[in-house]
Amino acid sequence: MSHFDLSFVRSQFPALSLSDAGRPAVYFDGPGGTQVPQRVIDAMAHYLIHTNANHGGVFRTSRESDALLHAAHEAMADLLNAASPREIVFGPNMTTLTFAMSRAIGRELKEGDEILITRLDHDANRAPWQALAEKGVVIKEVDFDPRDCTLRLDDLQSKLSPRTRLVAVGYASNAVGTINPIAEIAQMVHRNGTLLWVDAVHYVPHGPVDVQALECDFLVCSPYKFFGPHSGVLWGRLDLLEGLRAYKVRPAGDGAPDKFETGTQVHEAQAGVLATVDYLAELGAQDAGSAEGQSSGFTGRRLALKRAMVAIRSYECDLFTAFTEGLLAIPGLTFYGIREPGRFGSRTPTAAFRIEGRHPDEVAEHLARRGVYVWSGNFYAIAVTERLGLEERGGVVRAGLVHYNTRQEVDYCLACLREIA
């Protein structure tokens, strides 16, 4: 069960008070982007009013702006349990960061070197690596099992070779919710002498992330998927970041993270990210008795964040169990991905489904008319819908829960779906 106060959580998000179709709007669109707490909005406005300046000046607003940017890097280092804030790189979004880093990594690769990508991933963790085929890098794809949409680790193992330089894999699938066993994959990849790049965009809102425990080499995420503003964040091992040659302008710094944070960053977004992390830490501070938190070995804000994400994970699992049971009881509904509650530790609360005789867009439009917000299509995870044979048929309906959603919203969504089944 959850250890946080749901009424407190919902009171933090002003969008949850808005109405649609004559009733409170139901935001089951979290995998495409979450709502934000009032403090995030306030922090961004405060920055623009009181601290709006470029980087590196000697005057008050520039010094205060630089201090805030450093604090944002420290906050993300705490959320991901990074060894240093210098391992945190901000950018406009995960896709742009990954393209930039694939170019930098590509400078070190030779013709015939290999990169592994997966068919379970968002295209933002496929296309940047596929682009390196232009210089002779060989791209191999790892398959997933269409029966439960889990990554085939046997296929990954069989495709590793002495020429494999990098494996790019998602922490969790934004299309069907599968959580990949990243720590196990990291051991497999590192035994081969290969680097591991992890797309954690879909996972971060749903559970604790510890890059040191995972032992991956790079990890990327998007604050707007975990209750913050539109932005992207990269974590990388400091020795790797320092060793890569970035594409940058000459006056920019030569060390990490400066050499990868090209141009003027969106400072107000970093102010919002700092406020987002502080919101999650406050949530965790309410769970002071958590056994998980006490045994984690963390202190301060890192401990509070761990407690928050553990509590979120527990609450969402209970909520998704009820949602899944209701979905599976709807006649003509096909559910994609892990469906057994005993295996929900290996998935996020993101449901992908189709209703017989209904195009996914039709289902999404029906729900929208009743004030329930879901997505339909492929969600840029086009390799998933192609592998499932659904791309030409409109993909799937995707309903994603986060920690501000309620059982009442689940029941209402299920009732609306029964109307169209």
Per-position DSSP letters for 77-100, written without gaps between them = HHHHT-S-GGGEEEES-HHHHHHH
Tell me what pLDDT residue 1 has.
39
Q: For 294-340, how does the pLDDT look when each residue is reduced to its tens digit (9 = 90+)?
A: 556 899 999 999 999 999 999 999 999 999 999 999 999 999 999 99
Upper half-sphere CA count for residue 230 (Cβ side, 13 Å):
4
Residue 287 has pLDDT above 90, yes or no: no
Indicate the pTM of the whole model.
0.97
Question: To the nearest whole number, what is the mean pLDDT of the chain?
Answer: 96
Question: What pLDDT sits at residue 2?
Answer: 47
List the chain domain ranges.
6-37+301-420, 42-278
Predicted pLDDT at 20: 92
* Nearest alpha carbon to residue 351 among 378, 320, 381: 320
Any idea how long the chain is? 421
Instruction: Please state, in angstroms and rounded to a whole number, the distance separating the CA atoms of residues 250 and 260.
Output: 12
Q: Domain 6-37+301-420 falls in which CATH fold?
A: Aspartate Aminotransferase, domain 1 (3.90.1150)
Whether the predicted pLDDT of 120 surpasses 70? yes
Residue 33: the pLDDT is 98
Q: Helix crossing, 300-328 with 407-420: angle to 10°?
A: 30
Q: Is 303 exposed, middle or buried (0-12, 13-18, 19+ CB in 10 A)?
A: buried
**How close are the terminal C-alpha atoms of the chain, in Å?**
31
Any residues with CB less than 8 A from the CB of 53 and at least 6 apart, and which? 59, 61, 62, 64, 65
Query: Which residue is listed with tokens 């896709």?
Result: 95
- By the 8 A CB rule, do 312 and 207 touch? yes
Say how far apart CA 142 and CA 364 lie, in whole Å. 31
| Letter string b/e over residues 217-255, b meaning 16 or more CB atoms within 10 A of that residue's CB | bbbbbbbbbbbbbebbbbbbbbeebeebebebeeeeeee
Mean pLDDT of 398-402: 98
Cβ–Cβ < 8 Å for 163, 134: no
pLDDT digits (tens, 9 = 90+) for 55-112: 999 999 999 999 999 999 999 999 999 999 999 999 999 999 999 999 999 999 999 9
CATH number of the structural domain 42-278:
3.40.640.10
Instruction: Using alpha carbons, select from 162, 159, 153, 158 the residue that is nearest to residue 186.
Output: 153
Residue-level pLDDT at 289: 56
Q: How confident is the model at residue 21, as a pLDDT?
A: 81
- Give the pLDDT band (50/70/90) at residue 3: low
Q: How far apart are CA 337 and CA 350, in angstroms?
A: 10
Mean pLDDT, residues 24-48: 98
**Structure-token match 């390799």, residue found:** 383
Answer yes or no: is pLDDT of 4 > 80: no
Radius of gyration in angstroms for the set of CA atoms belonging to the chain, rounded to a whole number: 21
Is-contact 395 412, C-beta < 8 A? Answer: no
Instruction: Compute, in degrees rounded to 10, the torsion defined by CA atoms 272, 277, 283, 285.
Output: -130
Decide if pLDDT at 291 tops 60: no
194 near 366, Cβ under 8 Å?
no
